Amino acid sequence: MRHIRFDWAIKKLLRDKANHVILAGFISELLGHSIKIESILESESNPLTKESKFNRVDILARSTQGELLLIEVQNDTEQDYFHRMLYGSSTLITEYLNRGEAYEKIKKVYSIHIVYFPLGKGDDYVYEGRIQFQGRHLDDQLELSSTQQELFNQKAIHDIFTEYYLLKVNNFDDETKDSLDEWIYFLKNSEIKEEFSAQGLTEAKDRLQEERLSKEESALYKQYLQDKQYENSIISTTKAAAELEGRNKEKRDIARTMKQTGSNLEFIAQITGLSLKEVEELY
């Protein structure tokens, strides 16, 4: 049984109110507490949702508690991705605070990122980032006062700040140890096993089947897959060409150095793999 890719589901099916339970299930499993979605929003921070040929898709939801839930899927390498994560969450905070409102009205933001490229240095597949303030001299943690807890209805400082969740899907070894792993498996393989029972996946098993797509949706989905395949082909070709050019440059640099030190040209060609003519033309 084939299921559609999660990034395409974000673009189309998960925006339907009837399918909010799928999105809410994924977020609930990730955060470790129950989330219910009130509505799907459009935001200045996620302007690419309507474009089918970008390698990034995102969806912004508001929970019944008023929290902002940003889920972003990134397929291709971006070295400054951490910076863009910060920009996206910061934009949401300012965008949803009305001018003149007190700072206590700032919305809680959960910034969730699903990446399919090797971002940063780390071998885990689920990373969490929360703000905490650690004492430099006493090594204690700064906490909200009882008055602040009552005033803001928050238990800890990190409940106010944005929480970041980063899923490095390709690091997952396909062994499902808990319900969140079942979601990671689906994100990586676009497959939902019959025994999977994580929140949201029960509904996704049925509603995200390829065969349930209408003719129009099926055509759009096939075109989307073809676009992705074409983009991946271009990226692979570009990377391969860059690697080849890098190896050739290294050979020429070695040959140039050997030539400058007076090595025999035929010997240089033999060592580097360059033709004799290529060695002769080096300056």
DSSP assignment of 115-155 equals: E-S--SS---SEEEE----B-TTT-PBP---HHHHHHHT-S
For the chain, the residue count is 283
Confidence label for 220 from pLDDT (cuts 50, 70 and 90): confident
As a three-state string, the secondary structure of 57-87 is EEEEEEECCCCEEEEEEECCCCCCHHHHHHH
Convert the pLDDT of each residue in 150-188 to its tens digit.
999 999 999 999 999 999 999 999 999 999 999 999 999
Beta bridge partners of 70: 60, 111
Domain boundaries, the chain: 6-212, 220-281
pLDDT digits (tens, 9 = 90+) for 72-92: 999 888 889 999 999 999 999
Q: How far apart are CA 174 and CA 177, in angstroms?
A: 9
- Tell me if 4 sits within 8 A of 190, measured CB to CB: yes
Q: Rounded to the nearest 10 degrees, how much is the dihedral formed by the CA atoms of 230, 233, 238, 244?
A: -160
Alpha helices (runs of H) in the chain, residue ranges in sequence order: 6-11, 20-31, 81-95, 146-152, 179-189, 201-207, 215-260, 265-272, 276-281
- The type of residue at 280 is E
Amino acid at 59: I
The one-letter code for the residue type at 41 is L
Tell me the backbone φ, ψ of residue 233, rounded to 5 degrees: -65, -45
CA distance 57 to 196: 25
pLDDT in tens, 236-274: 676 667 787 888 888 889 989 988 888 889 888 888 888
Residue 43 above 60 pLDDT? no
> Looking at residue 17, what is its pLDDT?
92
The CA distance from 28 to 64, in Å, is 13
Name the pLDDT band for 127 (thresholds 50, 70, 90): very high
Q: What is the DSSP letter of 238?
A: H
Q: What does the pLDDT read at residue 160?
A: 94
> CA-to-CA distance for 278 and 253, rounded, in angstroms?
12
Q: Are 59 and 23 in contact (CB under 8 A)?
A: yes
Backbone φ, ψ for residue 190 (5° rounding) = 55, 40
Per-range mean pLDDT, top range of 6-10, 196-200, 267-271: 196-200
Which tokens sit at 106? 């700032």
Report whether 279 contacts 268 (CB < 8 A). yes
